[in-house]
Amino acid sequence: MTVSGTYGTSAYTAKGLAGLLADRLDVNFTERESDYLGVYFLATLADATRFQIQPNAIPGDGGEDDLYDDEHPDVSVLLLMTSPAAAEHFNDELSAVGGLTRLRSTRI
């Protein structure tokens, strides 16, 4: 079983949230750049848990930004997490971060 969660914040920049969570979760984020997402931060653990921090506004057609998560236009930064069910304790850690809100979670 896999657990995925989407969190959002406007209290932090993507880089600021990556720095905060790196210390709190003891993970290493790598800064990456993509034509689709722009600059984002990625951490993948040995158990296949994956954290991706990215802006909600992503490069769109015609030079205008699109929203990655258009259901939450007020959120400027997203954290996407995917983990095996055994790593569900990360949800508790993330829920305790002030200014970071769980937007949705699913079990597959």
Q: Count the domains in the chain.
A: 1
What pLDDT does 17 receive?
97
**CATH, residue 39:** 3.30.160.110
CA distances from 5 to 35, 48, 58, 91 (A): 24, 14, 19, 8
Token duo for residue 106: 């699913």
Question: What's the pLDDT tens digit per position in 50-63?
Answer: 999 999 998 887 77
- Residues 59, 43: Cα–Cα separation, whole Å: 22
Phi first, then psi: give them for residue 21, nearest 5 degrees: -75, -30
Residue-wise pLDDT tens digits, 9-20: 999 999 999 999
Q: What pairing do the DSSP bridges indicate for beta strands 2-9 and 101-107?
A: antiparallel
Residue 41 domain boundaries: 2-107
Residue 88 is predicted with a pLDDT of: 67
Place of tokens 């930004």: 65
